[in-house]
Amino acid sequence: MSATTLIRSALVVNEGRSVQADVLLRGGRIDRIAPEGIGSAAGAIEVEATGHWLLPGVIDDQVHFREPGLTHKDDIAHGSAAAVAGGVTSFMEMPNTQPQTLPQELLEEKYRLGAARSVANYSFYMGVGSTNLDEVLRTDPRTVCGLKAFLGSSTGDMVISDERVLDELFRKAHLLLAIHAEDDPTIKAELDKALARYGPDIPITEHPHIRSAEACFRSSSAAVERARTFGTRLHVLHISTARELALFDPGPLEGKRITAEACVHHLWFDDEAYRTLGARVKWNPAIKTAADREAIRNAVREGRIDVVATDHAPHTLEEKARPYTQCPSGGPLVQHSLVAMLELARQGVFTVEQVVEKLCHAPARMFAIGDRGHIREGYAADLVLVDPDAPWTVDRAGLEYKCGWSPFEGQRFHARVLRTWVNGHLAYADGRVRHEVRGERLRFDR
Ligand code: DOR
């Protein structure tokens, strides 16, 4: 049972408004939000929060925690610990583990692992391969966040290229279909050119030319067209180019059948970062130009991008040091998504309310998570308390990541996560993760 907690005088940043209030957590739920204050609450632990911001816990709809099978890179215990240290209270995890999450049996095995090991609330995507549609269609929309298909290859070879399989999938998908959209033939042609020019040790600065804007557009535009044809509920992950943005409608999420996600690295870095950080910023899709980044930022503001996530996808530093063709794409991010987005708010790129909308509210609405992602009485007490002005610098010693590194090392952030509650349980406080806390399996009202 979680403790009763009284958070005093926090600035509650929620649903477009910021209001100072006392907030009482009881029985794992938000019991009362009182702008006029709460005199006392019997037996409550009191947290003095004057000058601090209370936000809904972040819901990250794209992480790779690598369990089972790739646990030298990350695992659910470390990934979820890093999540709560960063104010992320719920995550949705991807199927390119080993073995891949293609049969229902393995999907349920992941849920058992989540129940046993996750500090945060959890959901796991059902993987779509070229031959498992029957299994995919057995996925329960009320207890599983979505389906995940790779329409371009990345870590783990899960790519689907057969047009008939894709038609069947888009026609029959009965819950949200999240896709990785990059066109493999386009990438291969560019890779062959680079290999001819440089040999296998291609400079990392070539990455955005190999995994090109054209490769992204070809794949995502074809997927959007197919979704329009079949009425598919399509969610296009990690948009990385200006050109793709016209595929998505601006405005509120409600009523959209086709939605888009942007990731923190595409909002923060541009191709200059390859010169300083090398393969540590090698992602698929690649980080592209400053103009692309600017356009994605604008799309977040105008609603063409519906949610912001991390695509947290760790690899070891040893793996990242390999020559280009053997160096995997992806990096750890889940511990710093909230503070990085709040830093962008401080720089005037977004408002704090927009950050809360894209990281907390919108994922809850998009996935129909009925009682999370907002600070409302009766909702689950998934909350994060932030000091907006407590500058600090990311260093290795403070990382919860199993892989032991971050692309943000040396980065100074102004906002600091002070405490994170998961279902009313204090999961992170004073720089320490409470590893004994366990999150819940997410439920979806659909
Ligand atoms: O860079 C990436 N790495 N992009 C993906 O979509 C997959 C991920 C991984 O699993 O390593």
Q: For residue 309, what is the domain's CATH number? A: 3.20.20.140
pLDDT averaged over every residue in the chain? 97
pTM: 0.98
> Which residues lie below 8 Å from residue 327, measured CB to CB, with a gap of 6+?
279, 282, 319, 320, 321
CA of 404 to the centre of ligand 1 (A): 18
Alpha-carbon distance of 406 to 339, in angstroms, equals: 14
pLDDT at 58: 99
Taking only the tens place, the pLDDT of each residue in 220-266 is 999 999 999 999 999 999 999 999 999 999 999 999 999 999 999 99
The tokens for 9 are: 């005088």
Atom of ligand 1 nearest to the CA of 329: 1
Residues 191 and 174 in one domain: yes
Confidence of residue 120 (pLDDT cuts 50, 70, 90): very high
| pLDDT above 70 coverage of the chain, percent | 100
Examine the fold and report which residue of 312, 333, 366 is the final residue of a domain before the chain moves on: 366
| Closest residue CA from atom 4 of ligand 1 | 284
Examine the fold and report which residue of 310, 334, 366 is the final residue of a domain before the chain moves on: 366
pLDDT at 416: 98
| pLDDT above 90 coverage of the chain, percent | 97
* Contact yes or no for 135/81 (Cβ under 8 A): no
Pairing verdict, β 307-309 and 258-263:
parallel
3-state secondary structure of 418: strand
Tell me the best of 62, 65, 67, 96 to mutate to test the pocket of ligand 1, counting ligand atoms within 8 Å of each CB and taking the most.
Answer: 96
3-state secondary structure of 198: helix
pLDDT at 430: 92
Average pLDDT over residues 126-130: 97
Cα angle, residue 74 at apex, residues 367 and 429 outer, rounded to 5°: 75
CA of 154 to the centre of ligand 1 (A): 6
Picking from 383, 389, 394, the residue whose alpha carbon sits closest to that of residue 415 is 389
Q: How many domains does the chain have?
A: 2
Whether 255 is covered by a domain: the verdict is yes
Whether 49 is covered by a domain: the verdict is yes
Confidence of residue 156 (pLDDT cuts 50, 70, 90): confident
Picking from 54, 61, 65, 67, the residue whose alpha carbon sits closest to that of residue 23 is 54
Average pLDDT over residues 140-146: 98
Residues 226 and 307 in one domain: yes
pLDDT at 167: 97
For residue 29, what is the domain's CATH number? 2.30.40.10
Alpha-carbon distance of 283 to 207, in angstroms, equals: 9
Confidence of residue 154 (pLDDT cuts 50, 70, 90): confident
Confidence of residue 153 (pLDDT cuts 50, 70, 90): confident
Atom of ligand 1 nearest to the CA of 315: 11
Tell me the best of 67, 311, 319, 401 to mutate to test the pocket of ligand 1, counting ligand atoms within 8 Å of each CB and taking the most.
Answer: 311
Residues in contact with ligand 1 by the CB-under-6-Å rule are 64, 96, 154-155, 180, 283-284, 311, 313, 328-330
Cβ neighbours, 10 Å, residue 111? 16
**Catalytic residue set:** 311
Confidence of residue 158 (pLDDT cuts 50, 70, 90): confident
CA of 64 to the centre of ligand 1 (A): 8
Residues 233 and 284 in one domain: yes
CA of 289 to the centre of ligand 1 (A): 19
pLDDT at 28: 98
CA of 162 to the centre of ligand 1 (A): 21
pLDDT at 366: 98
Residues 41 and 152 in one domain: no
pLDDT at 1: 77
Residues 35 and 138 in one domain: no
Whether 376 is covered by a domain: the verdict is no
Residues 355 and 419 in one domain: no
Tell me the best of 60, 64, 124 to mutate to test the pocket of ligand 1, counting ligand atoms within 8 Å of each CB and taking the most.
Answer: 64
> Which residues lie below 8 Å from residue 105, measured CB to CB, with a gap of 6+?
none
Tell me the best of 187, 236, 282, 329 to mutate to test the pocket of ligand 1, counting ligand atoms within 8 Å of each CB and taking the most.
Answer: 329
Q: Identify residue 277 by its one-letter amino acid code.
A: L
Whether 188 is covered by a domain: the verdict is yes
Atom of ligand 1 nearest to the CA of 64: 10
Place of tokens 């936000």: 55
Average pLDDT over residues 346-353: 98
Alpha-carbon distance of 62 to 198, in angstroms, equals: 34
Whether 34 is covered by a domain: the verdict is yes
Whether 446 is covered by a domain: the verdict is no
Say whether pLDDT at 321 is over 80.
yes
Atom of ligand 1 nearest to the CA of 284: 1
CA of 415 to the centre of ligand 1 (A): 27
CA of 155 to the centre of ligand 1 (A): 5
3-state secondary structure of 205: helix
Residues 70 and 50 in one domain: no
Whether 441 is covered by a domain: the verdict is no
Residues 36 and 83 in one domain: no
Examine the fold and report which residue of 366, 389, 415 is the final residue of a domain before the chain moves on: 366
Atom of ligand 1 nearest to the CA of 328: 11
Taking only the tens place, the pLDDT of each residue in 380-390 is 999 999 999 99
Residues 13 and 148 in one domain: no
Whether 285 is covered by a domain: the verdict is yes
| Closest residue CA from atom 10 of ligand 1 | 155
Atom of ligand 1 nearest to the CA of 237: 6
Pairing verdict, β 412-413 and 307-309:
unpaired
Taking only the tens place, the pLDDT of each residue in 358-381 is 999 999 999 999 999 999 999 999
Residues 354 and 256 in one domain: yes
Residues 335 and 347 in one domain: yes
Residues 140 and 155 in one domain: yes
Domain containing residue 124:
57-366
